[in-house]
Structure 1
């Protein structure tokens, strides 16, 4: 980075602001679009045509990922004017991807607090400090181990033994998380009952296939750029986090997750206000990419380079 970038002091990036009625209306509009897409996805699946079925599965899977990004805004209480609305809406948004709102919230806020330190850990578990290899990428894309973890959390919740295992949390968080994991287990049970009643194929087409084949891999791709290949040994948000300019579509689909420096600099700012801060981040941020494709190309180049290193070491040993 050129030294001239650091001659300009941040002005707007770290400014906080409260949610107002316009911000709330913007978020409600996103919820309405998501509901419409859900209806379209279901309609496509039940058309009984191959093209409609495949399109519907992809659309529903992409929607489930989008819902978690909307849930992320609820975690920060930056969607509604009344704070009490965030949890009920956030809980529902996380159900298709089996995400507990309260558990996610306490760990995600901890991520914000400890980013750039040894205590940083994200809810979805991909370690951005590990080398990028084919194995680590595939492990992130198809992180089905998280589903086993969810099953364990559900079991502990029904037994009343659930505890937050990555730091301190309140008794209220414990109770709320147990309620949400019980709700998740009831959803899974309802899907099982529907399958036994003869609707198993619909359960697969409307939920399991979109979840396993589309939503989980796509969610990983959305979250991967946030901090990977950044300076993970500093607490400076202008160096440990990446923003992607992207397009209107990617900004909408990721619910502003592409503007991640802006978000970490002032995490309670409503997502719809982040684009107005992006110009300053482009000037001051160390890691700002033009598009997701440009970022993924960098990742692929690093994966290829890392895959060649063991072969080079073996050649050196032979010689």
Structure 2
């Protein structure tokens, strides 16, 4: 057994052993993905998005505003469903996970292949200086001291998601040129190129429809919901995950936050609020995370009783 200089057990190794033992003790919670349940969630997302589209295309300003908000919220919800698919927890079939994941990420310009590769590394590297996340918000975890102006810029960058859109444009260019992506295998690079070309195809198709109808369809049902609603909502969902936590600590009870929220927000975030539990057992079906929470809640260091509680405390900091 590795020891420190004084003969004591290295705390990091001891913590790793404790987490491994806990995972082994919780193995009774594991179950196979229930594809029918994910299909229901997917179908509800499509239904609500369709309703939003119909409302947004009405020639009444308040209908259009309501439609844009609903569509944007469903775009953000779809990204949370995509997260389930990239862990291969939506269906038993990897192909079904990939197909659904590609479709769910398309509205927010998210490459399923790029997100999956980056997210798996995030799970592996969280707690180390090597950790990187797919969505770049600048000061990702709130570690740096900022002036008021610097803080304003940081929050603006986060909630507009400008880095994500800039990266999409850059990666689309690489995809159209047939180039590979740094740090990714040739196979993953091919899949990333495929995803970006599919998004471009969807943008061109909706643009053509708007032109043929001599209307602003693409603006009302995609661009405004994406930039004004989906981006900020998605950033708000992701913010509590690790912000202000001990992100250089390998212990998932220290580097991640859980929020015990109501059923509606748990559905909307697709269980993302149980984030400590997800990092503790990444391959656990998301509907089992509340059960895991009941087993480990006393160990969690960063915990909030609802999103209002979290954001209220954040604003008062």
TM-score (norm 1): 0.86
The answer on 1:283 being equivalent to 2:298 is yes
1:161-310 correspondence runs (5 A): 161-163=179-181, 165=182, 167=183, 169-302=184-317
Question: For 1:20, which of 28, 32, 51 is the aligned residue?
Answer: 32
CA distance in 2, matches of 1:87, 1:261: 25
CA-to-aligned-CA distance 1:89-129 (integer Å, 9 cap, x gap): 10000010000000000001000000011111110012114
Question: For 2:57, which of 21, 25, 46 is the aligned residue?
Answer: 46
CA distance in 2, matches of 1:57, 1:199: 20
Structure 2 runs not aligned, ≥5 long: 1-14
Deviates more, 1:235-244 or 1:82-91: 82-91
Deviation at 1:288, TM superposition (A): 1.0
Partner of 2:77: 66
Question: For 1:113, which of 116, 124, 129 is the aligned residue?
Answer: 124
CA distance in 2, matches of 1:135, 1:151: 22
Partner of 2:167: 149
CA distance in 2, matches of 1:284, 1:152: 42
CA distance in 1, matches of 2:214, 2:124: 45
Structure 1 runs not aligned, ≥5 long: 1-5, 303-319
CA-to-aligned-CA distance 1:243-270 (integer Å, 9 cap, x gap): 0000101110000000000100111111
Deviation at 1:137, TM superposition (A): 1.4
Deviation at 1:44, TM superposition (A): 1.1
Could you say what secondary structure the match of 2:107 adopts? Answer: coil
Partner of 2:9: none
TM-score (norm 2): 0.86
Runs of 4+ in 1 over 3 A off after TM superposition: 9-19, 129-132
Question: For 2:104, which of 88, 93, 97 is the aligned residue?
Answer: 93
CA distance in 2, matches of 1:251, 1:199: 40
Aligned Cα root-mean-square deviation (Å): 2.0
Relative contact order, higher structure (CA 8 A, sep 6+): 1
Is 2:136–2:163's contact at 8 Å kept on the other side of the alignment? no
CA distance in 2, matches of 1:252, 1:12: 27
1:32-43 correspondence runs (5 A): 32-43=43-54
